[in-house]
Amino acid sequence: MSECSTSCPAAEDPTLQRVRRIAESYRGKEGSLIQALHAVQSAYGYLPLEVQKIVSETLDIPLPTVSGVVTFYSFFSTEPHGKHNIRICLGTACYVRGGVRVVDRLEEILGCKVGHTTADGMFTFEIARCIGACGLAPAISIDDKVYANVNPDEIPQILASYYKAEEANA
Amino acid sequence: MIELTINGRKIQAPDDSTIMQAAELGGIKIPSLCKYKDIHAIGSCRVCVVEVEGARNLQASCVVKARNGMVVHTNSPRVREARRVIYDLLISDHPKECMSCARNRTCELQELGFTLDILETRLTGQQREKNIDRTPAITRDSTKCILCRRCVTTCRDIQKVGAISAQNRGFNSFIGSALGLPLGSTNCSMCGQCTKVCPTGALIATSSMETVWQALENPNVHVVVQTAPAVRAALGEPFGIPMGTSVTGKMVSALRLMGFDKVFDTDFAADLTIMEEGTELLERLTAAVSGEKVTLPMITSCSPGWIKHCEHAWPKELDHLSTCKSPHTMQGALIKSYYAEREGIDPKDIFVVSVMPCTAKKYEIERPEMQNGGYPNVDAVITTRELVRMIKVAGIDFAALEDDDFDAPLGLSTGAGVIFGVTGGVMEAALRTVYFLVTGRKLPFDGLHVTPIVGFDKIKTASIKLENVLPEYSAFEGVEVKIAVTSGLEGADILMKEVSEGTSPYHFIEIMGCPGGCIAGGGQPRTEREDYRILRAKALYTEDEAKALRMSHENPDIQKVYAEYLGRPCGEMSHHLLHTTYTPRGNFNEYLPAD
Amino acid sequence: MAKYAPRLNSLEDLQAIKDAFLAETEKYRHTVIVCGGTGCVSAHCADVLSALKKQYSVRGLRDEVRIVESGCIGLCALGPTVVVEPEGVFYCNMTPERIVQVVDKHLIGGNIILDYTFLDEKTGEHIPYMKDIPFFHDQIKIALRNCGAIDYDSIEEYISRDGYFGFAKAVNELGRTGVYEELKASGLRGRGGAGFPTGVKWESGYNQPGEQKYIVCNADEGDPGAYMDRSILEGDPHSVIEGMLLGGYTIGANKGYVYVRAEYPIAVERLSEAIETARAFGLLGENILGSGFSFDIEIRIGAGAFVCGEETALLNSIEGKRGEPRQKPPFPFQKGLFGCPTIINNVETLANVPVIIVRGAEWFASYGVGRSKGTKVFALAGDIKYSGIVEVPMGIRMGDIVFTIGGGIKDGKPFKAVQTGGPSGGCLTKDHLDVSVDYESLSAMGAIMGSGGMIVMDENTCMVDTARYFMDFVQDESCGHCVPCRVGTKRLLEILQRIVSGRGEVSDLDRLEKMALTIKDTAMCGLGQTAPNPLLTTLKYFRDEYEAHVIHKTCPAHVCKDMITYVIDPEKCRGCTLCARQCPVSAITGSVKEPHVIDSEKCTRCGTCISNCKFGAIMIK
């Protein structure tokens, strides 16, 4: 009748144990669910169901409530991200200055749609609502680095530098 | 008191009234949709907006408080126009399937369209994708959901289960479990309280009507029906019979007319439950007074919603549960054994239908434990609401029916069986018998009603001192039996917390999953009347008091079943047929390993 | 400056810090301020700063020159920027090489390098001094008084400019009622957009009974294209802390929360450090400056939801819940955070408070017009020459902001519209350039003051598409709680999408208007109630553009892709084949030295060919 819908708790993997420890540090603190989710996401990378379940049990908040919060806020992700996070600013200034063309070109080059991760796991590609570089529109950020006044034609070059760095590391 | 002007009329209202409440006092009805009684007002649908002089925007009258001197217009052109646009918006994201919807003509959204005199809807656009989540008990169609969140309030704030909540945001919002898992993979208790408050067809009890019709039409199947105590207390309501009237006789007539081969009463099995559960309690108490290690308090197990909740929330405390099956599954087990043998019918040809006030029982009959000899104890559960539908489909003029009697041998019951349908009833029925068995006297309460546990308080407690006991129970002399009764899962958790911490002072606890007990079960007719629990309870107590026999052990047919078939309560045969086991479950409804 | 942390117990202790700092800095010949605002960070100001530090060590200037990394100076378009004090010389577009020369020629040689200073394109001349540059000339810096002028990391420098003296004055002279009376007299109104009088708000907080009260700083600056609050948090975090301290003292709250959006990691970092420092100095914590008043601040980081800028949604978010708004009343001052009386102010509002207390209501009220007193910070962006952060007195002409301060439109194109207030605001046209920038005048035009986003658009902007852009934004950010916003913004967006794709009908315009007005009238919170504003104002002021889309199926600004075609002028095309090679979808064909042709079916209107054609042969029709 009731199937085991997720893996039954056997020996918990060490990252999940870490998640549990992080969540425990928020136990009993009033209204700390969002802060706990931030901390857990930065440790685990994203917030899949099993991670949410740990947060729910530790903070004694019903799982659907936790998931309701996770899915409400765009900063929380239930899917793993690529190695690098590209955020294309589509704040008004960047929109007016041609940000959409940057998006179109990136979709074409990366072969994946906004909100998804490339097949090789290198890039996750998202839209940002203003990264505050309005004076330098259109802008994109890759991880913490901001690229200003982006011309769509420069994009292959920018991406290539990340692949190059990757090769160098390998 | 404050005074305000609504539609030009001066209206006085208590200080804390909302505009809507004040308007109602003045005889002005403001249309609304998301609001539900006094338990849920979040101003989300905006249908109840009104014009308040001095305010820039229209105000949601269900949540905005009336103030002294306020001037309100509830029916201005601006208000009417706003409501129409809102209705148009609502309908633009709603499947136009009214003709084939379970809530056709009982849908509040549909009703609202009529109230607002909507003759045309113009907006079209993207609609949410069809995604039907069906469990044996509850079926959810999120495209019909208008996000009023009554179900969330009921599940989270009333039942304190919190199996569903708002997910995502904006147009992609939906009400569901974590990350949209199917309800069957969650800690949902299947109590079905959500299906009672849903204004549309988004949450309904999963229908079993078609299987029942098919069984009825099959000449090779012997179709037996049984009806739970609470059904008779509410079944008359949708047929215009005043609330609080027990319609047992008409119900039996209707079932016969529908073609059931036998019409039995689950009240009989309630009496049987008292024999089994009462004996089990006496066994545990005997062991306790003689210093043996035994699990107390013992907790009733008639309510499958409560049972599932307990398995999720209190997986380590399952030993406290009585091992008795719920009455209708006991009855089903007897029908396919005792009755089948007696009548010479092969149990494989018997189809048992239970008419229940409950959605959880639809789920319960699919539990692997609920079968004997390879035959499910019960083949189909229909709710009271489904029975209403079937009576209407069959073209029966219910209100005009003559009374009729249940069939023998599983149709005779005592008053104790009848009150199983209301909170405190199982406890009272058990005490009537246990007290009598131990002392040889009737319970020392007026009309046999254990007053402290009658009524709708969340937690009700009492203690009964056993004095001048019969010689065979001398060990109980002077023992004070402490009991507690609760209904609704919030109360259950309060009592279970004490149990799990080892501080529970009680010997015996009655828990029913739905607030008020089965009379207010998830499968009962919907009503917005505030006093419906009181009236339905009254129907049962009246029937109890009218019975010649008021104590389960007095039931001659019960005595006969033991004499002819079962042997003794909690004996080997009973254990085989009438008792069950429980399963620890996690939040994803997965089985938890035993410790 | 060495970081030591004396606990300050009195006004005298505060004064001593100020005196010591001023005495210490007096010995320097120059102060070099390197802008560390996000704009300049994106333009790699860190490289400039490290080159500067290296060079001044090499040249032995440690005792003569003080280097300050400041918050945003404002002129983001020309970053990285550097100011050399005391002369006030403004260098722009700095590079590591250029800064080395500034050290050698200016700091040591005493000669300003004119070529690196601001170039006035109108006259073709360089303007070396900051005060003479039109961008700065008409600005009045009150909220931004320290931004870009001081080391954001130095509490001593903040104190040296009368920082925390406002709080000292409040506890020693004004008392709790005195603070809100002063604010009421100053005419300060909420800078988050709604413009509610701050003094009145604090007075209600003061009068509200309650054991536990809270003050909350709303730093969830969500309007796309607006970053005023971030500039303050990054450039002058102590002004916000002191503002909250004053608020807490006035209303009787000993706990404050700053709700910062997650997109602002640098602001969070700088604010956290400032809070730590303030605690170390005893300016947060128990018995502050010996007043008997205790107060502390906690930062809560948002998680990416525009609606959390709405004050009741923000409270829910601080409580760790979904950021859905609450029904008002009860208002937060009655029942706010964790059910307690709560006063919520925006960053810019709080940054204004300390200086008003120090300098007095009369001084503040001397700026501005009518019921709009003081100044307003705007983030100027879009098709404007000098985009950046500006602070102007209320009542300034809109046209002066765009053309004098902002330098007009980029590339000399004609001005078309200015959008204020972000997704809640409206678009104004060239007919409104004379409008006075104040709360009342802007509302009268259907726009709003808003939190300070100001996006300038040139003639190449399609106003229907702009309305669609904002509608897309709000419908994506709608929390989903109430029907008008959840479904209404979706339906409005769908109609707008239909119009920009050439499938609109004339009747759509009435439908849009009717629905928009109902949403405005019935939505639960400010987000929904203002969501239709960009649509309604563009419908009002640019109706001809909508009509062109629905009647003639053309986009006058040549923006809406489904209504334009790219064509190559055979007269101008030299057949260089560059466009054909660059076209990502191979829509261009032609032989070498022959005019090329674009296949309209294949063409995605991406614009690559236009930006690459050296002969201007490709046109949009």
Confidence of residue A132 (pLDDT cuts 50, 70, 90): low
Q: Between residues A130 and A32, which one has the greater pLDDT?
A: A32
Say which amino acid occupies C455.
I
**What is the pLDDT averaged over residues B258-279?**
97
C306 vs A: CB within 8 A: yes
CB nearest A153 (choices: C224, C469, C611): C611
Domain membership of residue A126 (yes or no) is: yes
With an 8 Å Cβ cutoff, are C606 and A152 in contact? Answer: yes
Q: Between residues B2 and A99, which one has the greater pLDDT?
A: B2
- For the domain covering C158-365, report its CATH number: 3.40.50.11540
C277 vs B: CB within 8 A: no
Other residues' Cβ atoms within 10 Å of the Cβ of residue C510? 10
For residue B595, the model assigns a pLDDT of: 56
Catalytic residue among B3, B24, B283, B369: B369
Could you tell me how far CA B396 lies from the centroid of its own chain?
25
CB nearest C524 (choices: B43, B81, B93): B43
For residue A2, the model assigns a pLDDT of: 39
Q: Strand runs (DSSP E) across C225-264, as ranges?
A: 255-260
Residues in CB range of C534: below 8 A, 6 or more apart: C419, C423, C425, C426, C427, C466, C467, C470, C471
With an 8 Å Cβ cutoff, are C480 and B92 in contact? Answer: no
Statement to judge: residues A133 and A64 lie in one domain: no
Look at chain A and report how many structural domains it folds into: 2
Helix (H, G, I), strand (E, B) or coil at C495: helix
For residue B273, the model assigns a pLDDT of: 97
Strands C372-373 and C368-369, by their bridges, are antiparallel
Confidence of residue A11 (pLDDT cuts 50, 70, 90): low
Give the model confidence (pLDDT) of B343-361 as tens digits.
Answer: 999 999 999 999 999 999 9
Secondary structure in 3-state letters for chain A: CCCCCCCCCCCCCHHHHHHHHHHHCCCCCCCCHHHHHHHHHHHHCCCCHHHHHHHHHHHCCCHHHHHHHHHHCCCCCCCCCCCEEEEEECCHHHHHCCHHHHHHHHHHHHCCCCCEECCCCCEEEEEECCCCCHHHCCCEEECCEEECCCCHHHHHHHHHHHHHHHHHHC
For residue B594, the model assigns a pLDDT of: 62
Residue A66 pLDDT exceeds 60? yes
Query: Hey, what domains does chain B have and what are their CATH numbers?
Result: 2-91 (3.10.20.740), 128-206 (3.30.70.20), 210-268+329-400 (3.40.50.1780), 273-325+415-578 (3.40.950.10)
Tell me the pTM: 0.92
Strands B298-299 and B508-512, by their bridges, are parallel
The answer to whether B518 is a known catalytic residue is: yes
Say which amino acid occupies B313.
A
Q: Got the DSSP string for C427-440?
A: EEEGGGTT-B-SHH
| Of residues A131, A134, A95, the one with CA closest to residue C75 | A134
CATH of C463-550, one of 1.20.120.80, 1.10.645.10, 3.40.50.9100, 1.20.1440.230: 1.20.1440.230
- Cα dihedral C111, C112, C114, C118, rounded to 10, equals 180
Instruction: Choose from B86, B126, B174 for mutation: most chain C CBs within 10 A.
Output: B86
> Bridge-partner residues for A126, per DSSP?
A87
CB nearest C487 (choices: B65, B78, B89): B89
Measured on CA atoms in the order B539, B544, B546, B547, is the torsion positive or negative? positive
Statement to judge: residues A164 and A94 lie in one domain: yes
Q: Rounded to whole angstroms, how far apart are CA atoms C253 and C256?
A: 7
Q: What is the DSSP letter of B304?
A: H
Give the residue extent of every domain in chain C: 23-135, 158-365, 368-458, 463-550, 565-620
Other residues' Cβ atoms within 10 Å of the Cβ of residue C115? 10
With an 8 Å Cβ cutoff, are A2 and B590 in contact? Answer: yes
At residue C55, what are phi and psi to the nearest 5 degrees?
-65, -40
**What CATH number did the domain enclosing A143 receive?**
3.40.30.10
Catalytic residue among B145, B518, B538, B574: B518
CATH class belonging to C368-458: alpha beta
Q: Between residues A147 and C149, which one has the greater pLDDT?
A: C149
The answer to whether B472 is a known catalytic residue is: no
The pair of three-digit structure tokens given for residue C474, joined into one six-digit string: 């709000």
**What is the pLDDT averaged over residues B66-74?**
97
| Of residues B229, B232, B227, B153, the one with CA closest to residue B193 | B153
Q: What sections of C360-462 are H helices per DSSP?
A: 361-365, 398-399, 439-444
Q: Rounded to whole angstroms, how far apart are CA atoms B188 and B208?
A: 20
Q: How far apart are the first and last CA of chain B?
A: 60
For residue B148, the model assigns a pLDDT of: 96
**What is the pLDDT averaged over residues A93-120?**
85
- Domain boundary pick from A50, A72, A94: A72
- Ordered mean pLDDT values, 10 residues apiece, chain C (621 residues): 72 95 93 91 90 92 93 91 95 96 94 95 92 94 96 96 97 96 97 92 97 96 86 96 98 97 89 96 96 96 92 96 92 96 97 98 96 95 92 96 94 92 90 94 88 91 94 94 97 97 95 96 94 95 96 93 90 91 86 91 83 88 83
Q: Rounded to whole angstroms, how far apart are CA atoms C555 and C549?
A: 6
Q: Which fold has domain C565-620?
A: Alpha-Beta Plaits (3.30.70)
Instruction: Choose from C335, C487, C510 for mutation: most chain B CBs within 10 A.
Output: C487
| Of residues B553, B373, B533, B559, the one with CA closest to residue B457 | B533
Residue B516 pLDDT exceeds 80? yes
Catalytic residue among B280, B311, B428, B554: B280
With an 8 Å Cβ cutoff, are A74 and C42 in contact? Answer: no
Residues in chain B within 8 Å Cβ distance of C518: 81-82, 85-86
Residue pair A82/A129 in contact (Cβ under 8 Å)? The answer is no
With an 8 Å Cβ cutoff, are A68 and B368 in contact? Answer: no
CA distances from A46 to A78, A117, B501 (A): 6, 13, 36
For residue A5, the model assigns a pLDDT of: 40
C300 vs A: CB within 8 A: yes
Residues in chain C within 8 Å Cβ distance of A95: 224, 469
| Domain carrying residue A43 | 14-72
The answer to whether B369 is a known catalytic residue is: yes
Q: What is the DSSP letter of C597?
A: E
For residue C177, the model assigns a pLDDT of: 97
The answer to whether B514 is a known catalytic residue is: no
Residues in chain B within 8 Å Cβ distance of C475: 170-171
Domain membership of residue A165 (yes or no) is: yes
Smallest Cα distance from C180 to chain B, Å: 26
CA distances from C279 to C255, C297, C455 (A): 13, 10, 39
Residues in CB range of B556: below 8 A, 6 or more apart: B412
Give the model confidence (pLDDT) of B375-433 as tens digits.
Answer: 999 999 999 999 999 999 999 999 999 999 999 899 999 999 999 999 999 999 999 99
Interface partners of chain A (CB pairs < 8 Å, 3 or more) are B, C
With an 8 Å Cβ cutoff, are C320 and A101 in contact? Answer: no
Mutual orientation of helices C198-207 and C175-186 as an angle, nearest 10°?
Answer: 150
The answer to whether B564 is a known catalytic residue is: no
For residue C3, the model assigns a pLDDT of: 53
Statement to judge: residues A152 and A118 lie in one domain: yes
**Is B229 buried (19+), middle (13-18) or exposed (0-12) by CB count in 10 A?**
buried
For chain B, how long is the longest CA-to-CA vector? 81
The answer to whether B280 is a known catalytic residue is: yes
With an 8 Å Cβ cutoff, are C483 and B89 in contact? Answer: yes
The answer to whether B3 is a known catalytic residue is: no
Q: Rounded to whole angstroms, how far apart are CA atoms B233 and B244?
A: 6
Q: Rounded to whole angstroms, how far apart are CA atoms B592 and B115?
A: 51
The pair of three-digit structure tokens given for residue B354, joined into one six-digit string: 């239970």
CATH of C23-135, one of 3.20.20.140, 3.40.30.10, 3.90.1150.10, 3.40.50.2300: 3.40.30.10
At residue C420, what are phi and psi to the nearest 5 degrees?
-115, 155
Domain membership of residue A47 (yes or no) is: yes
Q: Got the DSSP string for B82-151?
A: HHHHHHHHHHHTS---GGG-TTTTT-HHHHHHHHTT----------PPP-EEE-SSEEEEGGG-----HH
